Structures are given as structure tokens and as C-alpha cells.
Chain A
Amino acid sequence: MKAWLALEDGLVFEGEGFGAEGEVYGEVVFNTSLSGYQEILTDPSYKGQIVTMTYPHIGNYGINSKDEESAHPWVEGFIIRELSPVASNPRSEETLDQYLSRYGKVGIQGIDTRRLVKHLRDHGAKKGILSTLDGDPKSLVRKAAESPSLVGVDLVKEVTCRKPYEFKENIAEGFEWGLPGGGKNYKVAALDCGIKQTILRKLNQHGFQVTVFPASAPAEEITKFKPDGVFLSNGPGDPAAVTYVIKTARSLVGKFPIFGICLGHQMLGLALGGNTSKLKFGHRGGNHPVMDLRTKKIEITSQNHGFVVDLDSLSHHEVEPTHLNLNDKTLEGMAHKKYPVFSVQYHPENSPGPHDSDYLFQRFREVIERA
């Protein structure tokens, strides 16, 4: 089965299709993680995006239900250099190909992914189309150009849960890491903007009793729940478009300890009066160095974001930058100077990625304990 990938600026690749047949649109982005494709596929933050893996061999260890970050894959399409002919891992339950077919996701392999990635690096993330149906480059490029942009679009509403629920799952046995949990069970309200399961599992591990709320839950509902702390989750798309969560966050600052990750961090930045902007091609991978400005220690972090809180837009009277990306010096974390509110742009829950930043969940406990 042939497949084509076209970008809005005219770059077209012909490759071999895998997964499902069909035609999908999305922002074409790349991720440099060497492993963890399953976590990436199922991360709701990739809603609206077609993801390219820079590592050429994908699918090697198959798919297993324990490593999912949500109930199904969220990427719009998947671009790789070469699909593994076998799923070789005792944990595997099905092949990547079977999995994507099952969920109707279109994949393409066999293209010069490095060329694509260099193009995205030099020209920025692009709208694209992935198709097994249309082989006409002109038509594909036109369709890609006419497809909707991510900027200004609220994608959170498509990935959030419908009603509140309590989350009780733990990290899979044998793969726990980080500091031991225990202690008093604090009550946390987590606003689900597309939350990854591992964040919830990590919160559980660190002694939080987690109730997940839909992103649209207003501040009053959260307040009525009387949590010990509030968690603002990761999620897809443009933070500025998620005005209702920004509003909720603004009302909760000063009332509850708050911890935000990724989109949660961006929305918090907006709630605190800062600006967000779109990075040229984003940060997606498991190898970004971030410095904790307080301890000067470096964490190798898991990242997945296209937008960023502008460091200079924050009021330095109110907000203290706490973490910095050493590659491009963008803001990776901040804390409120007065209130127990802090957030990071990267993913301390990793999945996929290194476990260096586990202390942030512990910090959330300490912040709550002090509050």
C-alpha cells in the first residue's frame, strides 16, 4: 500500500502505508526519543498532530496495554523510517501495525525522515496531510494548505473526560521509580486537559488521592470539592485558546496549592498575566537539558510542547523563573513568589523519558504540607 505525505509548503514524500488506510491532516512535528513510541502515540497532547519519529526502527518491541498513556492513540498520523517486521519483547501484546489499524490510524514508512525533520527544523512545524488515497502531489499540497491551523484552536475539549472520576491505578509493578510515596493522603483535583495516565499514577504514588475533573469544570466546582491541591494537566494545542481553564486557574491561584505540567504550565502562565508563543518546531524528545535554577542541577527531561511561556512576559514581582532549557534558554518552570503555585513546561512523569525530575511530585507534597 502506497502512502503520501505532503506539507503545506510543497514538500511531498511517497512511502509505504501501514496501520489503517485513509487521509488525515495535522501539524507535522518530530520527536527524537529513541524509545517510547507507544507512550507518544497515546499521549493526548499529540491531538491534531502527525508525529515523525527520528529514530529509524520503530515497532521493535510491539505494543502492550500497560504502557499506554490513555485508552487509545491520539496522534493523527505516524511517520517512521522503518516498521519492525516483528514485535520482540515479552511484554508485547500486539504489533504496532495491528494496533494502528485497530484504531484507524494512518502510518507511512520508508521515507527520508531525516530530510523531513531537517525541513521542519529549518522552516518550522508545518501543516500536512498523510494519505493512502490520494497520490496527486498538487492536490495533497493544496489540501494541506487549506487544512485548519492549530493556533487559536481549543483542542482540549476533544480530549478531556466527560465527568469527574477518581483515579486509583498505580505504576506497573517492577517499573516504579523515584521517591517512595506514603505519608498522609492528600486530596488533589486534577483538571484533565488531556492528562497522561502516568501523571495520575505518579500522583497516586506520591500519596495523593486523585479526582479527575473535566477541563471545563469551573472554579466553584473545584472549590466545593475542597482539595488539598489542584493539578493542571498537559494537553494539546494552543494554550491561549483554552480561555475557560485559564479563567479557572486565575480564580484558584491563592486559594489552593497548584502544580501545572506542560499545557497546565502555559495556562498558568497566561493566568498570571504572561504571554505564550509558538516555538518554531517545538521541543519533543527525551533528552532536553533543563537546569533547576535554585540548585543549578541539570535534569534530562522529557518534552512535548509547541508553545512556550515567554520568559520576559512574566511579572518578576509575582513570578520567579525556576527552570531553564539549556538548549535554547526558554522557560521550563516557574513558581509564584507569594502563593504555593508552581509549574514546569516539561514532563516530570516522563513516559517516555528519563526519571530525573521525580522530585517535582515530592515538591507538590511539600508545598501542600506548608500551605
Chain B
Amino acid sequence: MPKRTDIKKILIIGSGPIIIGQACEFDYSGTQACKVLREEGYEIVLINSNPATIMTDPETASRTYIEPLSLEYLEKVIEKERPDACLPTMGGQTGLNLTVQAYEKGIFEKYGVELIGAKYEAIKKAEDRGQFKKAMERIGLDLPRSGFAYSVEEALDQAGRLGYPVIVRASYTLGGSGSGICYNREELEKTARAGIDASIAGEVLIEESILGWKEFELEVMRDIRDNFVVICSIENFDPMGVHTGDSITVAPAQTLTDKEYQRMRDAARKVISEIGVETGGSNIQFAIHPKTGRMVVIEMNPRVSRSSALASKATGFPIAKFAAKLAVGYTLDEIPNDITKTTPASFEPAIDYCVVKIPRFAFEKFEGVDNALTTQMKSVGEAMSIGRTFKEALQKGLRSLEIKRFGLGADGRDKIFERPLKTRNDYLQFLEAAPRDEKLREKIGRTISVPKEDRLFYIKYAYLAGMTTEEIYSITSIDPWFLEQIRQIMDLERELLAAHGNSSKQSELIRKAKRYGFSDRQLAFYWDKTEKDIRDFRNKQNVRPVFKLVDTCASEFKAYTPYFYSTYEDEDEDIPSEKQKIMILGGGPNRIGQGIEFDYCCVHAAFALKELGYETLMVNSNPETVSTDYDTSDKLFFEPLTLEDVLNIYEREKPKGVIVQLGGQTPLNLAKGLEANGVKILGTSAQAIDIAEDRDKFKKLLEKIQLRQPANGIAGTLEEACGAAKKIGYPVVIRPSYVLGGRAMEIAYDEEFLRKYMKQAVEASDEHPVLIDKYLEDAIEVDVDLIGDGKDFVVGAVMEHIEEAGIHSGDSASVIPPFSLKKEWVDEIIAKTKQIARELKIIGLMNVQYAIQNHVIYCLEVNPRASRTVPFVSKTIGVPLAKLAAKIMGGKSLADLGFTEEIHPGHVAVKESVFPFIKFPGVDIILSPEMKSTGEVMGIDRDFPSAFYKSQDAASARIPHEGKVFVSVKNADKAKVIPIAKKFHAMGYQIVATEGTAKALQAEGIPAQKVLKLAEGRPNIADLIRNREIHLIINTPNGKGPVLDEAKIRSLAVSFNIPCITTLNAARAAATALESVRGRGLTVKALQDYFPPPKSLGKKPEVFSPGAPLSS
């Protein structure tokens, strides 16, 4: 069918900030949709609040609105742009929920906007558990037995009927929020209450437990002619009970006979037809009883998803891209297969390798969090790996995770119940003793019975301790096929251990070991050698990886798209070209501290270097990203970012150089090793990187340019630390060296805390000492991004943080231009930043953090790499910094690129951070030097109050325009909160406070209603929050930790979705914003209107056209 010509303008709704359950995959899918629909000649209007995305680059869509994803703004965008249609399936659950709300409010009808891809009825049928259940019964599919509840009492009744354990699932949530397994009444009461609160329908489903069943997913597509294809089957390593986002998953399905698989395929076809997804992709989950084979449907998502991104990367079949084409009327047979070019997309990919996805967690950042994996998603990212076999893919996946592991253990980092196995000898001793240690075996058995992030390693230890596959299966319900693969790895491990010192045996085994996915590091461990010894030995034996293609068709047809993975086989399919090549190292899996912002930079580098005529080689292991879209670079290597794997590609391709400064800390950490192996690092030298990261060298640098640094010291032991802290004077900021995202960074107010901390810190980074800095209280923090070509340097932006220094910069709101700094300070900061850059001969990007205390500027740190704020700055000033940086690394100068002076925008942009607290009930939400946010949003408007207000709205912390404000501040803040409270009072808010604060306020003439503390009786503040009588909370912490009263209040606020402001600065900003915004509506403005494209038809100036021309 030809594409539709009755629609011209299409609205795409993005997914907003990165949160648990919704990550870069929606930038990947949304970007694809924008690109392909524009190629088809449609005008695309985009609304998305996340600045760190490629989709919000002004060249991706025709009209880009970086505005909050709420009804109010959506309607304004629709009113202004009058699109003909809306494609709601690209923006994850957020996009879908917003669509449902807008439809029910009649917005689409009012403006004559047609929903394409999925209609309202289909979305409702898939998302509403009651309707879904009825639909499945209608087509004769089996479901777990279940019933609905709208109150805790009803939930208990249902559970009585079904029998415990039961699963609670809240309707209309993402990442399984408000869901959980309940083994008893008490747990059910808690979970049901949370679920009912989390659900916008106030509805939970109480379901028969199918824990331990095998879990599968099918990624399917359907077109307007009812043509149907399965793109990929996925089997979960972890059986039912663990959210699929937290499971290790494997593609394709491994343990189904064709009869069982086809039965599932038939069911999937029935599901998508019955739900009524007319065109596009869906994800359907099934469970199969391991003994009886009974198959039940779990759920379906009528949209592209994390799994569909994974399936696209796993097969080479771009689901989102084709879904967008199907939405405008094409049929599958009319779309050519991207990779084979000659065959159509109406087929089912055949793959001849195995794909493993492993989730990445961040529990260490959340004190007191329950780290057991359940039906509520808790992981913050994922790595995907490809191997010819599961064993190879599994071990590659583990070393892609960026958890300092180099495969399935035996890398010096094994730790069994606090007992480290650092050396081969430790390992041998354990191997010798463990099988006889009945207690240990029992303990391991208990450990693997609960799914946790390190369960895979404990399964290995179970084998080491002599447990059998049958035993492990009976405890874990993990399919024996998977377990037996692990056993095979363990069997070979024993042979490898035995080959110690026997080089002929080693030569015999090394190829097999590499085929099993063992890294050189592991082999070095078995054989008491260095990684380099193994590499040399291996190269001498000519045991080198080959690169095979991901081609959708198991090589049945010739492939034209160079998308590679490494493996140990005979034939290498990568034919290096004669062109000048540059390799770009990506950032690996998302985690807190390193996310989409770095992928954004890598993607820009690929586009920019292509423009300069280089062949670009992308290396990355994150399946969610745009960088791992095979359209982004000339060649894509889906590989772990370790020295070994990167060198393998380097040796094969021999690029001119490697870019390590755009992918975050991961590639930067490889710089030294790469350079030692003769790899040319493009941009800022490894030497300069070292100066910035070496304490002494850095100190000298600052002294040279006369820039102050907070008093500081360094300590290798506990006593040294106490001594240093005493000398500097408390409070001090303590952190391990070489970390990202403020991992294990704390403020110590006394020695007791410092001593407690030191035990954990050594754990956080045992190869490096602990750094101790004077903590600058009440200082203003400032972030600067700079670009340089080695000679000239331009500051992209000076950002003023709203939260004070001491709160991780990744967690602060930050503002361009600075809103309270004196001009001379800003000028000095710019001058000093350039001086640093000149000293380091920055080629590319650099980020510097400052603190200003009592009119003195201190330099906190220098990062000679792209920072998290690069996309935010780029979008605010209209200059694509990452792209320019890549061009500089490709040989251009700033003058060549026409970017020679600072830009002072006439508008204000605020970046606000978004936190995952809702997923970690009970965790204290206060901000600290340890980064906790998963994503960010941007508010952009003509002035600070409006931009700030939008940023809060976009971060789902909408400040209410009226109601009750609960104020509770620490003693030191009691005086400072007065003017803020006055503002709220003046605007008509009622102030509620506990005794101490209430008295302080009343003394200043602010009427404050007194409320009881938790321990003072009922009704207390918690009751008020539960009854939704409080609309805003201002609480600056006296202390932190989940046991405190105030922490319980903060955590309760999160559960009830009540905005909770934890710093006075933010409270002040909120009051200012409200004063300005209340009563006047905010307007929306497209990015293209902030930076109008040049009118002349001549050559486009480089500076004002961020993003590469996206049409190919």
C-alpha cells in the first residue's frame, strides 16, 4: 500500500528523562522514527523534555519542543503546530500514558489529530489489566488466574481465593512500579497499598504465582494488511519472578521444541490481532511451566520497548524504524531489508549466533535498599553481547557490564561471602576445601535461592563447591540448559587451571578457551601470567578473533551493512578499507553517573567525522543506544569495552586514532593501556588526562595558574585519613580516586563517621587511595564546559547550580546563564578555565567544577573529557559542542569551525535531575556527594522563574499552585527559611510545621499550623501526607539514613508523589518561580525558534546547525 498522503504533519511524543524502566532505547526508537518519517516527506513535531537525546537535536525533527511531558504543554504544542496525526508508540510508557490522558480529555478530537500506530482502544485493551484479561479469554489463551482489587481489603480477599504466594501488579505503570511478590498477608497489605497508589487507575491485579516458570518474550510486528512477523524470540535465564528488565535474557529462545515455539507464535499473532494493534511492533510475554508445558500469556506492550530495541540490535532488524513506516501505511513487503537490500522486511530474522543481555544495577548507591530482584524493575542499564555460543556471549556480556569483571569469575575479583579469591592460590584452596564444607554449600544454596545481581557468580561458586546441575536447578528453577552451559565453562576452567606451567597444554587449550569466551585476564589468572603475556602468547599461536556479521539471515543472503561481533572462528568477514579511519569508544551500559549524555556525544562524533570524510568505527556494548544503531557509524562493533577487545579491533582495522574522551569514564580509563599498546589517542593527550587525575600534578597545575583548591590530602590507610582530615579540618569530603558519579563520596563531619566510611571506601576502589578535601559549606557550585583545539579555547557555558556545593553536580539543578553570580566572577571563571585548558592543551572537551565561598573561587575538579552537561549546554547555546570536538580531533581548528567566542543566549535554561527513589521504597531521598539521579530534563524559557518551573514540571515534581506546604528544616536553616516561608504565605499557601519550625515561623509573623511528629501521636505528619492533605514539602535534613523520622517522611512523600524539596536554595528557586508563574500560563517554543536557521540559501554555517544531516 502506498504511504498516506492525507497526513502531512506528525507529532511524536518522546519518553522524557531516563528513569529505571525507561532509558536510551526510546531515543533510539524515537530518533529512527523521526529520521525515517522525514525521509518520507512528513513534517515531524516532537515533544520531549530530555535534552540529552539525539531525537531532541534540532535537526532530527522539524519542530522540536523541549517541554514537559504533561497534558498542559502537549495541548499547547498541538494547538500551535496543528499536526494531522500523532504516533504515540515511540515514547515508552510515558508517551503511551500521556496519549491516553490526552485522548480521554478530548484533546486529539478537539484539534483533529488522528492516532496512528496504535489507537486509543488498542492501548486501553493492552494496558488495562481487566480488559486485557477479557480479551485473552475471548481468544482462548490461558492466563495466570487472577482478580482485581481497588483496596487493600479486596486484595486480601483475592489472595485468600488464589492462595499465597501471589503477584501484585499495578495497572498503568512502567518498569513494574507498585508490583511485587507477596508470600504473606503482611507483605500483601504493603505491596497492594503501594500498587494502588502507583496506578493512575487505583487498580491492582492479584495474580496466581507462576514463580519458577520459564519466561519468554516475542517481539512481533504487524502491518495494515494483517501481515505478521516475529522479529525475535527471547528466553529469560532467570525464571518468572524477576522483572524481565532485571533478568539475564537470551536470544533466540533455546529450550523450546518447534511445536512449542510455533504454538507461542500462533498465540502472539492472536494477541496482537485481538488487541488491535493495527501497525507496528509489540512485545508479548509468556510463561511456560517447566514440567507440564502449560503456557500462559503474561502481558503485551503495544509499542516499541526496551525489548524491541534489544531485538533490533540482536537481529539487525530495526523495529522502530519499520514501525514508523508501517504507521503511515506501508506494508512489510514494501520495505526493503536494511541489511540485505534485496529482500523485503516481511520475513523473520534467522540468526546464527547467540545474544545475551545482562542488567546493570546500582544498589550500592542506595543505602538500605532491598537488593532482591522482584517483579519491580531495579536495574539502571544493560549490556548486550554477541557470541557464536551462549558461553562466549555470557562471558563477553559479563565483561561488558563495567563491574570490573572479566568473565564468569577467575579474574581476581571473586568474593565468596566476604572471602576474596584474589589469586590462583586462593582459588585453588577454595576449590580444594569447598566441596567438603557442608555449611558453605548450604549457605551458597540459600544465596542462590534468592535472585540478586550477583546470583550468576554464586551459581559458579556452587559448582566450584561441588554442587550438581540438578541441585542448582532444584534451588533456582533456572533451566538446566543454561546451567549446563555454565558447568561446561567450569569444566574447561578446571582444565585451564591444571595447565598452569605447561605451555604445550596451554597452546592446546587456548583456542577452546577463547571460544568459550574466556578473557586474557582470566587466562592470566589461571596461569599466573599478565594479561600482556597471554596476549603475546595468543598472538604467537595465531589465536586471534575474527569478526562476523549480524545480517538478519544467517548468511543466506549477502549483507551490506557492516555490523560486527568478534568470535573465535575460521573466517573473518571484516574487510578493512583503505580509508582514513577513526575509532570511537562508547560508554557501555547505562549506570548512574554515566548514561545517555555520553552516547549523545559519541553519536555526534560519528556524524561529524563522517562529514569530514573519515570512516567511523563505533565500539559499544549498550543495546539501548543510538550509537549502536548500525546507521550511525560506518562500522559498528558490538563489543565489550575492555583493553583486550578494543585492541583486537584496533589491530584488525588499524585506524588513525581512537577517541576516548566522549564516552565517559569507561573509555577514558582505557586510555593509558591503549597508549601503552601503541594506540594513538586523539584529542587531549593521555599525559594531560593524567595531570587532571593525579592529585599532585593537578595541585601543581592550579598553583601555577593561581587558582585555589579546597585544602586537601590523600590517604592510603585509615590512620592516614584521620590525620589528614584533622589537618584539613572537618567537615571534609571523602572519596576514592578514579571514580565516576561520586561513587562512595561522602561528607564527614567528624572522625567517627570517617572511620566508618574508610572500611567501605577501600572496597569501592582498592587500587587507588582515598582523597580528602575540605568541604566548603554553603558554597555555590559552578560547572563549566569548554572546547579547545590545543591553541584556542571557548567556554560553552558557565552553569550555576541551584543546590550548594557538596551535592553531586549530576544531582543538582543547573542554570544557564548563572542567575546569582556577579559578572566579574563569571569572567574570572571563564578566564581561569581557559588557562587550565591552555596548560593541558585541551583538544576536544573539558569540564571544570568550581565552588564559590565567601567571594573566593575554588577549583574542585577538572575532567578532560566530555561531561554529562554537554548536550544540555549544546541545546541551550545552539552549538553542537560534541560534534565540533570530534571535528577538532579530526584535524579542524575552532577558527575553521567558526566557533571562536562565547555565546550569551537571551533565554534561560535549567537542567533538573530525575531520581529513581520511587523504585526503592524506604530509601532516604536526600542529596549528597554520591550521585543518585538516573536522568535529566530541561526547562527552557525567557526567564529563570519560567525555565525553573518548567524543569520541575518536566521532572514530575510539579510545584502546586496552592495548598499546604509542610516546612521542616534543620536548626541552622531556621532563620534562612523565614523569607521563603513568607513568600509562600504571601501567595496564599498554608504553612504546616512541626513544633520547632512552627514556633520559629510564628515568631516572624507567619501563621503556621502545628503538626505532630511521628513519635508524638496521631494524627501526625505521616497521616496528613497519606490523606494527601500536604501538597509540597520543604525539608532540609538534620541527618540522613532510612531510620530517621524525617527520612521516613521524605520517603513517604515519594510514595505519594508529593514534591519534596530538600535544599533551601531549591526552595527559594521554587518560591521565586511560583511568584512569577502563578496566574500566567507558560508558553511553548520550538528549539528551531530559539535558533532560527539562517535565511540565506547559501552554505549553512556550521555553528548553528547542530546534528548531522540525518537523511542518508
- Tell me which of B226, B332, B348, B351 contacts A55 (CB under 8 A): B351
The reply to whether the CB of A182 lies closer than 8 angstroms to some CB of chain B is no
Q: Which of A38-76 contact B (CB under 8 A)?
A: 38-39, 54-57, 60-61, 64, 66-67
User: Which of B262, B333, B351 is in CB contact (< 8 Å) with A354?
Assistant: B262
**Interfacial chain B residues near A84, Cβ < 8 Å:** 481, 484
Give min CB distance, A28 to chain B, whole Å: 14
Is B555's CB under 8 angstroms from A34's CB? no
A90–chain B nearest beta-carbon distance, Å: 5
Q: Does B530 contact A (CB under 8 A)?
A: no
B343, B481, B557: the one contacting A60 at CB < 8 Å is: B481
* Proximity string of chain B (480-492) to chain A, C-beta cutoff 8 Å, 1 when within and 0 when not: 1100110110000
Which residues on A sit within 8 Å (CB–CB) of B233?
A: 34
B557-570 vs A: 1/0 string, CB under 8 Å?
11000000000011
| B352 touching A118, Cβ below 8 Å | no
Q: Is A36 a contact partner of B255 (Cβ separation < 8 A)?
A: no
**CA of A261 to CA of B12, assembled, Å:** 47
Report which of B258, B349, B354 forms a contact with A351, defined as CB distance below 8 A.
Answer: B258
Q: Which of A189-197, A243-251, A294-302 contacts B (4 or more CB under 8 A)?
A: A294-302
A57 touches B254 (CB 8 A): yes
Q: Is B944 engaged at the interface, CB distance under 8 Å to the other chain? A: no
Which residues of chain A have C-beta atoms less than 8 A from B258's C-beta? Answer: 33, 35-36, 38-39, 67, 286, 351-353
B854 sits at the interface (CB 8 A): no
**Interface segment out of the listed B287-295, B596-604, B782-790:** B287-295
Identify which of B228, B292, B350 contacts A34 (C-beta below 8 A): B350
A54–B350 touching, CB < 8 Å? yes
Q: Is the CB of B389 within 8 A of A57?
A: yes
- Taking the closest CB of chain A, its distance from the CB of B346, in whole angstroms, is 4
Docked complex Cα distance between A81 and B390 (Å): 12
- B352→A54 contact, CB < 8 A: yes
**Interface: B252 (CB within 8 A):** yes
Q: Is the CB of B484 within 8 A of A86?
A: yes
**A298 pairs with B354, CB closer than 8 A:** no
Interchain CA distance A61-B252 in the complex, whole Å: 14
Bound form: Cα–Cα A117–B389 in Å? 17
Chain A 11-51 residues near chain B, CB threshold 8 A: 30, 32-36, 38-39
- Does any Cβ of A come within 8 Å of B548's Cβ? yes
Q: Which one, B262, B388, B554, contacts A177 given CB within 8 A? A: B262
Q: B569 to A114, Cβ gap below 8 A?
A: yes
Partner of A86, one of B481, B553, B557: B481
- The answer, among B263, B479, B554, for a CB contact under 8 Å with A32, is B554
Given contacts A289-B333, A326-B344, contact A56 B388 (CB under 8 A): yes
Interface string of A159-184 (1 = CB under 8 A from B): 00000000000001011010000000
Closest to A288 in B: B347
Report the nearest B residue to A296, measured CB to CB: B225
Separation in Å of the B1094 CB from the closest CB of chain A? Answer: 45
Q: Does B353 contact A (CB under 8 A)?
A: yes
Interface residues in B261-276 by Cβ distance below 8 A to A read 261-263, 265-266
| Contact status B291-A300, CB under 8 Å | no
Residues of chain B with a CB closer than 8 A to A356's CB: 228
Interface presence of A91 (CB below 8 A): yes
Interface presence of A211 (CB below 8 A): no
In whole angstroms, what is the CA distance A363 to B538 when docked? Answer: 61
> Is B1016's CB within 8 Å of the partner chain A?
no
Tell me which residues across on chain B come within 8 A of A286, comparing CB atoms: 258, 348, 350
Number of A-B contacts defined by CB within 8 Å? 180
CA A90 to CA B257, docked complex, whole Å: 10
Q: Which residues of B are found within 8 Å of A38, using beta-carbon distances?
A: 257-258
Q: B residues 916-940 with Cβ under 8 Å of A?
A: none
Instruction: Map CB proximity to B onto A341-361 as digits: 1 under 8 Å, 0 otherwise.
Output: 000000000111111100000
A355 to chain B, nearest CB (A): 6
What does DSSP make chain B's interface, helix, strand, loop or mixed? loop
Give complex CA distance A17, B555 in Å.
24
The one of A66, A85, A177, A287 that contacts B349, using a Cβ cutoff of 8 Å: A287
A289, B347: Cβ atoms closer than 8 Å: yes
Q: Does A316 contact B (CB under 8 A)?
A: no
Does A337 make an interface contact (CB < 8 A)?
Answer: no
Q: A55-B351, A291-B333 are in contact. Are A32 and B556 (CB under 8 A)?
A: yes
Q: Which residues of A contact B343 (CB under 8 A)?
A: 289, 326-327
Shortest beta-carbon distance from B216 to chain A in Å = 12
Check A89–B569 contact: CB distance below 8 A. Answer: no
Question: Is B442 located at the chain interface by the 8 A CB criterion?
Answer: no
CB contacts under 8 Å to B, within A231-250, are none
With a cutoff of 8 Å between Cβ atoms, the chain A residues found around residue B344 in the complex are 289, 326-327
Within 8 Å by CB of B352, from A36, A113, A326, lies A113
Count contacts on A: residues with CB < 8 A to the other chain.
57
Q: Are B350 and A300 touching (Cβ within 8 A)?
A: no
Give B835-862 as 1s and 0s: 1 = Cβ < 8 Å from A's Cβ atoms.
0000000000000000000000000000
- CB-based contact A35/B347 at 8 Å: no
Report how far A131 CA is from B679 CA in the complex, Å.
46
Chain B proximity of A179: nearest CB distance (Å): 12
Q: Tell whether, in the assembled complex, residue B351 and residue A115 are in contact, meaning their CB atoms are under 8 Å apart.
A: no
Closest to B548 in A: A114
A287 engages B348 (CB within 8 Å)? yes
Distance in angstroms between the alpha carbons of A177 and B270 in the assembled complex: 12
Nearest CB of chain A from residue B480's CB, rounded to whole Å: 5
Contact B255 A89 (CB under 8 A): yes
Write the B782-809 contact mask toward A (1 if CB under 8 angstroms, else 0).
0000000000000000000000000000
Asked if residues A67 and B262 are in contact (CB atoms below 8 Å), the reply is no
Taking the nearest CB of chain B, how far is it from the CB of A6, in angstroms?
Answer: 15
Give the residue name and chain of the A residue nearest to B337 (CB).
Answer: A327
Closest CB-CB distance, A70 to chain B, in whole Å? 16
Q: Closest residue to A291 on the B side, CB-wise?
A: B333
**In the complex, residue of chain B having the shortest beta-carbon distance to the beta carbon of A351:** B258
Whether A118 pairs with B225 at a CB distance below 8 angstroms is no
B760 at the A/B interface (Cβ < 8 Å)? no
User: Across the interface, do A297 and B348 meet the contact criterion of CB distance under 8 Å?
Assistant: no
B350 touches A90 (CB 8 A): no
- Cα of A61 to Cα of B259 in the assembled complex, Å: 11
B230 neighbours in A (Cβ, 8 Å): 354
User: A226 contacts which chain B residues (CB < 8 A)?
Assistant: none
Chain A residues whose C-beta falls within 8 Å of the C-beta of B570 in the assembled complex:
111-112, 115
The complex places the Cα of A157 from the Cα of B5 at a distance, in Å, of 58
- Is there contact, CB below 8 Å, between A350 and B556? no
Determine which residue in B229, B292, B469, B555 has the highest number of CB atoms from chain A within 10 A of its CB, and name it. Answer: B555
Q: Is the CB of A57 within 8 A of B292?
A: no
Chain A residue numbers with a CB within 8 Å of B438 are none
Residue A134 CB within 8 A of the other chain: no
Give the shortest distance, in Å, between A367 (CB) and chain B (any CB): 24
Is B227 an interface residue when CB atoms closer than 8 A count as contact? yes
Chain B residues closer than 8 Å to A34, beta-carbon distance: 233, 252-253, 261, 350-351
Would B225 and A300 count as touching, CB distance under 8 A?
no
A82 at interface by CB-CB < 8 Å: yes
Q: Mark B1052-1070, 1 if CB is under 8 A from A, else 0.
A: 0000000000000000000
**In the complex, which residues of chain B have a beta carbon less than 8 angstroms from the beta carbon of A39?**
258
Chain A contacts of B291 at CB under 8 A? 90
Show 26 A/B contacts (Cβ-Cβ < 8 Å), sorted by A: A34-B261, A36-B257, A54-B556, A55-B351, A56-B389, A57-B254, A57-B389, A66-B259, A81-B352, A81-B389, A88-B484, A91-B259, A91-B293, A112-B570, A113-B352, A115-B569, A118-B555, A118-B573, A174-B263, A175-B263, A287-B347, A287-B348, A287-B553, A289-B333, A327-B557, A354-B230
* Smallest CB-CB A-B distances: 10 pairs: A36-B258, A352-B258, A54-B554, A88-B481, A115-B571, A32-B350, A112-B570, A287-B348, A112-B569, A86-B484
Interface residues of B (CB under 8 A from A): 225-230, 233, 252-263, 265-266, 290-293, 331-333, 342-344, 346-354, 388-390, 469, 479-481, 484-485, 487-488, 548, 553-558, 569-571, 573
Binding site for B on A (CB under 8 A): 30, 32-36, 38-39, 54-57, 60-61, 64, 66-67, 81-82, 84-86, 88-91, 111-115, 117-118, 121, 172, 174-175, 177, 285-289, 291, 296-298, 300, 326-327, 350-356
